[in-house]
Structure 1
Amino acid sequence: MNSTLHRLLVWLAVALFLLPVIWMFGTAFKSPAEIINAGARLWPQQISFDAFRIIWQGELATQIGNSLLIAVLSTAISLLAGFLAAYALVRYRFPARLDNLFLLAVLVVKMMPPIVVAIPLYSLMNHAGLLNTRIGLVLAYQVYTLPFCIWMLLGFIRDIPLEIEEAAAMDGAHLAKRLAYIVLPLCAPGLVATAIFSLILGWNEFLFSLLFIHTPDKFTIPLFIANFITEDGTSWGALMATGMISSLPMLALAGYMQRYLLRGFSMGLK
């Protein structure tokens, strides 16, 4: 009885989770008239591709390319800097508990609302000539992706036995060699798990893109989606079609990297 009840609760949770996704997919294939008149019907009576024609004419491919480029670059920088910072915090001792103070400062930055740092960042980027540039947006994303990567990688690096590195050091391996041939391979599942979440953060970010990007040719996917919500109304079909297409790359990536993701979580929980 308990097993049956547990399964029913699991399926209920799955159904509640999938309901908005099914609604999004169904609405994307409805005609504008059916969206207005269909009420709560999940799936269209007649499949229409009008919404996909609208978003394709709006240069959706360009926005997807911008989001992908910015998310990948910001993740690469965050992973590299976060890995080195986490390794130093785990393996080295700092005077006066500076390591704990640094981690606290990183956590405070991560927990701050984006609008708190948006104005100072805007001023800095304006003086540096980085407004309305993709590289400026990549650097701005470090405010949140880098602290996230540092905190995520701390647990993974702590799980790597120090004795392995000490044995390699006794055999003459210097720090760079130990990092390349010991720490990185052992930490690979954690790096993949961290990279996936960092990519999702960069892919979904909206506020910094809204403030720092001014021309449509550099818009990211969240900005492109926002164009369908105006004072004259909401283009629900185009909105849902864009949401469906924009969710597919991250879903495909997470599905392909699932085994590494699970290994990363199990590694961090040891």
Structure 2
Amino acid sequence: MSDAGNEVFFQVDERANGVSVLTLCRPERLNTMAPAFFPALRDAVQRLQAEGRTRALVLASTGKHFSAGMALDVFASGLSLTDTSDARRRLAFQTGLRQLMACFDVLEQAHFPVIAAIQGGCLGGALDLAAACDLRVCSADAFFAVQEIHIGMAADLGVLQRLPKIVPPGVARELAFTGERLGAERALAVGLVNAVLPDAAAALERALQLAGAIATKSPVAIAGSKLALNYAVDHPTMDALQQMTLLQSAIFDIGEMGRAIEAWQRKAPGEFAPLAPVAPL
């Protein structure tokens, strides 16, 4: 569970099969994101990474909507983060914004895949959050929007950088410039989501099935695959191939492969040790 003061933003459930579930739990506020949400999310994901037991993470939500993004009262509250009145404050603004971005970066950087199960609205900062995940599934009533354009700002937590690498660039620009809603079926057609399910419960179940399947594989091979895929997105093929030679030399494990082959032949889950925990500094 994560909270700031008396406010609970989400709950984390670590299951025995290596699947963890992080569930946003402020449905009465449309699961909007207050400033304290961001470091809480970062810390929760980094803890799961450091402990090494999680092999796949499902990011879920409660209520009618996945999340309406950043709470609008954040912009009206006069936070120091939003002050760009002089050069010193603009430098501080840049540092603060990059720190907010980094709170979503951890999803991309985690050694385990992250799967978002989305129902209803996924708006504004919530789409930045979903775009940082590896896979997305949604309910038939889901819709997505780059909401920030409606309040006179450019989206700034990663969606403009990640979305054109997930969907066709023209679709990303259409969403960014118009703020129009992208429904579930079109989201599937353009590749934003991997599956559309009848309702929220079915979407969560599909996300858990995907996470469960991932969790039966070698966590070293999964981590290596994610590192290689992430690197390839932003680098030329030749550079990515060179990275792969170094990466493979670090993670190649004949013993692990033997266990994987045996499990595959038996059509049974593999028996793999978790990743090594990382001691805090």
- Normalised by the size of structure 1, how large is the TM-score? 0.25
Higher helix share: 1
